[in-house]
Amino acid sequence: MTIIINGKPREVRAVTLDAVLAELGYAGAHVATAHRGEFVPAAGRAACTLAEGDRVEILSPIGGG
């Protein structure tokens, strides 16, 4: 299915947010995620089911000072 990840269409096979993260190489990474504009905590990613055309944001922390 095609979903929008960080503003760009991507074809994925996975149907849950945690599986999409693994498919895209983010397994084990410390990232923040949002689905349809709503924050999804790490503990809720396995239960977050995706559908065709859904919007997902994946944000990595940035260090600085």
Q: Where are the domains of the chain?
A: 2-59
pTM for the structure as a whole: 0.90
Which CATH code fits 2-59?
3.10.20.30
12-63 pLDDT per residue, tens: 999 999 999 999 999 889 999 999 999 999 999 999 999 999 999 999 888 7
Radius of gyration of the chain (CA): 11
The pLDDT, as a whole number, for residue 65 is 64
The pLDDT, as a whole number, for residue 62 is 81
**DSSP-assigned letters across all residues of 4-63:** EETTEEEE-S--BHHHHHHHTT-TT---EEEETTEEE-GGGSTT-B--TT-EEEEE----
